Amino acid sequence: MDKVTVLFFPDNLVANVEPGTSVLRAATLAGVELKSNCGGDGTCGRCLVKVKDGNVRLKSTGAVSQKAKQAGMVLACQTMVEGNVVIDVPKDSRLDEHQVLLDEKEVLVEQDEGLAEGYAIKPVCRKVKLSLTEPTLTENVSDWNRLQAALRSELDCGEIHIALPVLRELAETLRAGDWDVTVTVAQLNGCAEVVHLEPGHSDRKSFGLAVDIGTTTVVVYLIDLDSGLTLGKKGTYNKQARYGDDVITRMIHASDKKGGLQDLHKAVIDTINQLIDEVLEQSQASGDDVHMAMVAGNSTMTHLFLGLTPKYIRLEPYIPLAAETPPVRAEELGLNINPTAFVATFASVASYVGGDIVSGTLVTNMAQSDEITLFIDIGTNGEMVLGNRDWLMTAACSAGPAFEGGGITFGMRAMKGAIEYVEIDADTYEVKVSTIGKMKPMGICGSGLIDCLAKLREVGLIDRAGKIQTDLDTPRIRQGDDGWEFVLVFGEETECNKDIIITENDIKNLLRAKGAVYAGIRSMLKAVQLDEEVIEKVLIAGGFGNFINIRDAISIGLLPDLPPEKYRFIGNSSVKGARLSLLSQDAYHEAQELGKKMTYLELSVGNDFMDEFMSALFIPHTDMTLFPSVTNLK
């Protein structure tokens, strides 16, 4: 069948596709990124576009409001092209490219002091300058034997490996440098791997990448492997979002759609490559000088990064393909760095406690401390680690995508235009909001949702169960298509000219998400038969955690009611652990041990978690004695 052309406006980007292809797929191919929370199932209603010209076939009208329909909007995922078409993509439907706020720019002050103490800089990948003795007729071992002998006298290592493409350079490199040679060596586990060769004693920099692959956000740090300095940091959305917001939708796409695994693998590699290009450009560095990448991510992200199917992580009994994976070469994955660079990932503890948590736990130092510490990483999932130097327990709860904007009518991720802070007047119920980028509001991000929920409850607009108090006298409370709703911002003040509302359904979803996290914490405490009070320190991490308001988070019952001084923000602990492991062989080794030390608590087994979860669906909880500081609310 002849291909047809799909032109996207106002980008002027084109995709050539088979007739019958969805506009959403064509947009992906053309490089136009559309919002899509449901992964193309027609249920989330985010990928609205307008067909300006040409023939299309509607598979279903899907979740499109009457108003949008009247404006000629259709869902891109449900619209199949029949011939050449022209598509108009409104601002609202775009997955904005934007700079994720990195830890320097965190709203709440991040403390790095005391993190990852006691590791001397001894990078897992570094340059070794060698002066070999020139061979003679009587001392005539091969170049490779000669190099190995010299390396062994410099390094404490077992076997020394080399890949064929690097070995092929050896003879000329040694002679070009007159038997002086600079060898870039990666040392992960006793063995050494020669990843690069340069003639003479080279002063070229060598760089490493610390990478955190979050379900939502991907962050790349560029590290100078000599000085240990972080030269640049870049973050952006995981391009996998075009296949669905949450891990589960993506796992389904990878497992059930033809080429789905490849789609997701390519999307995350593209994301990382974009960040690599940016961070290299910013630092005026060359990708050829990047010889190592240390990658942390949850199990599913690590699987997709390596092109391994995550299918059985999703299905009971939740088995990852590999918990530990061997280091691979950059060219095997198509990363835009030196093709022979070594790429290592962190081992995961279990299907839902991944290398990002191991990496984060490394940074917390909790495994070296007597203090009982609770470490919570709230991203799209909520993962937690409890313990000290004697024991470590870990669990994961599916908080769901609510805190990332999924399943919430006006939910959105923490991008420009997202409401991140809400105030409500206790008498007039008038609302003041502030948005990221100080723009007109377009939706509400995670921190805004927590704030909103806390404030709604604080002024009595909702009850403990999250029900809107419909008898209150304000035009902001009204009946909508989806039942009762509260108007946060009226259309005239919004970017999208629509009223930004929060519905009872939205509140229910938020309660489920916060209930899951809290129930997870409670279940862990129960499993070790300890009370909350024994927790001496709570470390909150994650992209989401950067924006969290502790007081509000406690008052809605997301976090335990402990004195605020016990709480601490540590930013993106996953990428920090990756950086630390890149810079310290001991730290990398410790991270590998950590993975083995942690006991995984499967929350889906037994009734404890379900009981805790049911009790945590209220604000803050059915058992108010657990939240003494929030009992006095009206």
Residues near its own copies, by CB under 8 A: 135-138, 140-145, 161-162, 164, 167-168, 170-172, 175, 306-309, 311-312, 316-326, 328, 332, 348, 350-351, 602, 604-605
Q: Which is nearer to its own copies, 235 or 307 (CB)?
A: 307
Phi and psi at residue 362, in whole multiples of 5°? -55, -45
Beta strand segments in 314-372, E: 328-329, 342-345
Q: Which is nearer to its own copies, 147 or 442 (CB)?
A: 147
Q: Which is nearer to its own copies, 132 or 496 (CB)?
A: 132
Q: Which is nearer to its own copies, 532 or 608 (CB)?
A: 608
Q: Which is nearer to its own copies, 314 or 416 (CB)?
A: 314
Compute the distance between CA of residue 47 and CA of residue 23 in angstroms, rounded to an integer: 9
Q: Shortest gap between Cβ of 172 and its own copies (angstroms)?
A: 7
Q: Which is nearer to its own copies, 136 or 153 (CB)?
A: 136
Q: Shortest gap between Cβ of 218 and its own copies (angstroms)?
A: 20
Q: Which is nearer to its own copies, 119 or 144 (CB)?
A: 144
Compute the distance between CA of residue 127 and CA of residue 123 in angstroms, rounded to an integer: 10
Compute the distance between CA of residue 260 and CA of residue 253 in angstroms, rounded to an integer: 5
Q: Residues near 91 by Cβ (< 8 Å), separated by ≥ 6?
A: 495, 496
Encoding tokens for residue 370? 């007597």
Q: Which is nearer to its own copies, 144 or 490 (CB)?
A: 144
Whether the Cβ atoms of residue 6 and residue 15 lie closer than 8 Å to each other: yes
Phi and psi at residue 563, in whole multiples of 5°? -60, 135
DSSP state of 134: P
The amino acid sitting at 131 is S
Whether the CA torsion 416, 419, 421, 423 is positive or negative: it is positive
Q: Which is nearer to its own copies, 105 or 161 (CB)?
A: 161
Query: How far from the centroid of its chain's Cα atoms is residue 242's Cα?
Result: 15
Q: Shortest gap between Cβ of 155 and its own copies (angstroms)?
A: 18
Encoding tokens for residue 511? 């309660």
Residue in this structure with the two tokens 């009206």, named with its chain if needed = 634
Q: Which is nearer to its own copies, 133 or 629 (CB)?
A: 133
Q: Which is nearer to its own copies, 70 or 138 (CB)?
A: 138
Q: Shortest gap between Cβ of 163 and its own copies (angstroms)?
A: 8
Q: Shortest gap between Cβ of 202 and its own copies (angstroms)?
A: 20
Q: Shortest gap between Cβ of 361 and its own copies (angstroms)?
A: 19
Q: Which is nearer to its own copies, 109 or 137 (CB)?
A: 137
Q: Shortest gap between Cβ of 201 and its own copies (angstroms)?
A: 21
SS3 label, residue 254:
helix
36, 239, 541 from 377: Cα distances, Å: 24, 21, 5
Q: Shortest gap between Cβ of 67 and its own copies (angstroms)?
A: 45
DSSP state of 317: T
Q: Shortest gap between Cβ of 568 and its own copies (angstroms)?
A: 32
Q: Which is nearer to its own copies, 142 or 631 (CB)?
A: 142
CB atoms < 10 A from the CB of 114, how many?
11
Q: Shortest gap between Cβ of 164 and its own copies (angstroms)?
A: 5
Q: Is 608 exposed, middle or buried (0-12, 13-18, 19+ CB in 10 A)?
A: middle
Whether the Cβ atoms of residue 520 and residue 549 lie closer than 8 Å to each other: no
Whether the Cβ atoms of residue 254 and residue 309 lie closer than 8 Å to each other: yes
Compute the distance between CA of residue 265 and CA of residue 352 in angstroms, rounded to an integer: 19
Q: Where are the alpha helices (DSSP H) in 334-444?
A: 355-364
Q: Shortest gap between Cβ of 242 and its own copies (angstroms)?
A: 23
Compute the distance between CA of residue 330 and CA of residue 344 in angstroms, rounded to an integer: 10
Compute the distance between CA of residue 408 and CA of residue 507 in angstroms, rounded to an integer: 8
Compute the distance between CA of residue 335 and CA of residue 552 in angstroms, rounded to an integer: 41
Compute the distance between CA of residue 353 and CA of residue 396 in angstroms, rounded to an integer: 6
Encoding tokens for residue 244? 């669905």
Q: Shortest gap between Cβ of 392 and its own copies (angstroms)?
A: 18
Q: Shortest gap between Cβ of 222 and its own copies (angstroms)?
A: 25
Residue in this structure with the two tokens 């203090």, named with its chain if needed = 371
Q: Shortest gap between Cβ of 261 and its own copies (angstroms)?
A: 9
The DSSP code sequence of 232-273 is: EEEEEE-GGGGG-SSHHHHHHHHHHSTTHHHHHHHHHHHHHH
The amino acid sitting at 303 is H
The DSSP code sequence of 380-407 is: SSEEEEEE-SS-EEEEEE---GGGGTTT
Q: Which is nearer to its own copies, 309 or 474 (CB)?
A: 309
Q: 299-306 vs 355-364: helix axis angle to the nearest 10?
A: 120
Q: Which is nearer to its own copies, 329 or 476 (CB)?
A: 329
Compute the distance between CA of residue 108 and CA of residue 504 in angstroms, rounded to an integer: 29
Q: Shortest gap between Cβ of 256 and its own copies (angstroms)?
A: 13
Closest CA to 290 of 212, 213, 237, 231: 231
Q: Which is nearer to its own copies, 308 or 502 (CB)?
A: 308
Q: Shortest gap between Cβ of 332 and its own copies (angstroms)?
A: 6
